[in-house]
Structure 1
Amino acid sequence: MKKRHITACLFLAPAIIVMLIFMYIPIVQNFYYSLFNWSIYKPGKTFVGLKYFIELFQDKVFWTCLRNNTLYALISLVGQLGVGLVVAAILEAKFMRKHSGFFRTVFFIPSVMSFMVVGLLWQLFFNPNVGPFNGILKAMGMNTANLNILGNPGTAIFGVIFASQWMYFGYMAMLLIIGIQKVPDELYEAAEIDGANALQRFLHITIPNIKEMILVDCIIIVVGSFKLFDEVFIMTNGGPGYASEVISTYLYRTAFRADMMGSASAMAVVLFVITFALSIFQMKISRSGEE
């Protein structure tokens, strides 16, 4: 028994060492560095205690970032999970199964593309001078003279969010299809015999039988929403002003442009606490379906 334990530890040791060096030690160091005023260009650190945490929660830009992250999460629950669920149910319907493989590929392709490509694509799409978006609205009779989705503080974050929904709803649909495929066909056949229509079968059979998958997908979306970086950085760089800034891009700007490393470390701690709490919640939900 002891030999087996030693062998198991030896096999696990490389993974544990890598995780300690590249994950857990940096997390602890970041907590430590958030208590100091320091710069990557100058030696030495000055202890400031919780000063940066107090300043952070008094910072209007930080609250704008938190609002944008929360807005992204709420819209994504509808745009990624909601639309993905409807698409998954349609693709698994009997009349679509013959063509399901083609549409799965079409919907899934955007999620494996680099967001550098996707971001530039949607930047061009929303461009008021050469992009087709304003032209489409104009053809529908709308006044687009002053419309600049990514250049307007009130709409910039929504342009970024829309591009993300287009990219990821197919991925969510594929996860939900896996759950739907595990639902016994006998349940649908019995409901059909009893006179249930497609919507009733969807509401009373499909959703209750994949609720664990739906709950886990919800948390994946919410946690991902608070780690948002690429979309904003590529499409708007947090602008105009700070209108589309999120926590990750504000952290990057504070650390590597303003060289306020202590403040950026405090921001990273807050982001870690949010995502860690949501991850713990995800694990508890994941166990809800265990028998």
Structure 2
Amino acid sequence: MKNYRSSRTALLYILPALLIVVCMVFLPIVLNLYNSFFRWNSFGTEKVFVGFEYYIRLFKDPVFYTALKNNGLYAIISLIFQVGLGIIIAAILEDKLIRKFQPFFRTVFFIPSVISIAVVGLLWQLLYNPEVGLVNGTLEAIGLSEWTHSWLGDSKTAIYAVVAVSQWQYTGYITMLFLIAMQKIPDEFYEAAMIDGASRIKSFFHITLPQIKEMILVGSVITVIGAFKVFDEVYVMTSGGPGRSTEVLGTMLYRSAFRNDEMGYASTIGTVIFVITLTLSLIQMKIGKTGKEV
């Protein structure tokens, strides 16, 4: 009887948070899936059932595969820089010789992640300007004039230019997560390794990486989900152009919903984004064989 009362009391405490999660997360997902089977618009009340018509249309649309490729590119490059480079930077900042300067570098690396994405997009749009931008200006100043380019105006380079901005903005944030995880590793582990004659590189691979594997998983999941949810920087810098070469699933959804007023089609794209991010997250957790901190 006592255990029953304890369980009921615990449930009462959990219930408010559970209701919020259900109403703000699970219910919108179900409603979005439901709406994807209907033709409707934001200014009317009539809904026409179309079944899987929008899904068939989406998978036949070549722009969808361009967007999917760009999101995949985002994810791969982000894993390399935000996760891979982030681990290396965090390890360097945790080195005893650099540790006393750590507060300064933490601030420098973290500042970009708290700047408004719209501001960052406009800033880098100016930096990439082929006439007055700092990027081409720097290349000319160091004698690499042949490398100057219309970075956002060329369909071959535009997506890479936009992806580079995301790495500049978010690598510092992921680095801070790894730094926090590394600071939890007992110093005794490294002292024992030093006594055994292990180099810093060996200590990194045999002590640091295994001890922060939970945070590596968390950082990877955050990065991949962010790569498939990306919208703001692409919309601000290129709006999916030139020639829809930088289209991502987020801008494709926005275009369908708020420019073409095809809310059912937009719901379909939203459902696909959810399925992709959920699947990739589960795969990452399965590969990591962990997930206690996720």
Q: Mark yes or no: TM-score above 0.5.
A: yes
Match of 1:180 among 179, 182, 194: 182
For 1:163-194, what per-residue CA distance to the aligned partner results, in whole angstroms no more than 9, with x for missing partners?
11111111111111122122222232233333
Aligned length, in residue pairs: 290
Alignment partners' CA distance in 1, 2:62 and 2:203? 47
Give the alignment's TM-score, normalised by structure 2. 0.91
- Could you tell me which residue of structure 1 aligns to residue 223 of structure 2? 221
Alignment partners' CA distance in 2, 1:10 and 1:214? 35
Kept in 2: contact 1:215–1:285 (CA 8 A) = no
Match of 2:260 among 255, 258, 261: 258
Letter in 2 for 1:19: V
Look up the SS of the partner of 1:180 in the other structure.
Answer: helix
Do the aligned partners of residues 6 and 187 (structure 1) sit closer, same or farther apart at CA in structure 2, a change above 3 Å counting?
Answer: closer
Give the C-alpha shift of residue 289 in structure 1: 6.8
Give the C-alpha shift of residue 145 in structure 1: 8.3
Alignment partners' CA distance in 2, 1:50 and 1:240? 31
Alignment partners' CA distance in 2, 1:158 and 1:99? 32
Alignment partners' CA distance in 2, 1:26 and 1:187? 47
Kept in 1: contact 2:42–2:261 (CA 8 A) = yes
Kept in 2: contact 1:134–1:144 (CA 8 A) = no
Alignment partners' CA distance in 2, 1:183 and 1:21? 39
Give the C-alpha shift of residue 286 in structure 1: 7.3
Alignment partners' CA distance in 2, 1:163 and 1:106? 16
Alignment partners' CA distance in 2, 1:238 and 1:228? 12
Match of 2:82 among 80, 83, 88: 80
Match of 1:210 among 212, 232, 236: 212
Do the aligned partners of residues 15 and 221 (structure 1) sit closer, same or farther apart at CA in structure 2, a change above 3 Å counting?
Answer: same
Alignment partners' CA distance in 1, 2:80 and 2:140? 27
Give the C-alpha shift of residue 42 in structure 1: 2.8
Give the C-alpha shift of residue 287 in structure 1: 6.5
Alignment partners' CA distance in 2, 1:208 and 1:9? 36
Alignment partners' CA distance in 2, 1:62 and 1:21? 30
Look up the SS of the partner of 2:25 in the other structure.
Answer: helix
For 1:35-89, what per-residue CA distance to the aligned partner results, in whole angstroms no more than 9, with x for missing partners?
1111222331221111110111111101011100100000011111111111100
Please report the RMSD computed on the Cα atoms of aligned residues, expressed in angstroms: 2.1
For 1:195-234, what per-residue CA distance to the aligned partner results, in whole angstroms no more than 9, with x for missing partners?
3332232223222222222122112211111111111111
- Could you tell me which residue of structure 2 aligns to residue 92 of structure 1? 94
Alignment partners' CA distance in 1, 2:82 and 2:291? 22
Letter in 2 for 1:88: A
Q: Which runs of 5+ in 1 are unaligned?
A: none
Give the alignment's TM-score, normalised by structure 1. 0.91
Alignment partners' CA distance in 2, 1:186 and 1:227? 41
For 1:236-258, what per-residue CA distance to the aligned partner results, in whole angstroms no more than 9, with x for missing partners?
11111211111011101011101
Kept in 1: contact 2:139–2:147 (CA 8 A) = no
Letter in 1 for 2:153: G
Alignment partners' CA distance in 1, 2:195 and 2:232? 49
Match of 1:165 among 164, 167, 173: 167
Kept in 1: contact 2:217–2:291 (CA 8 A) = no
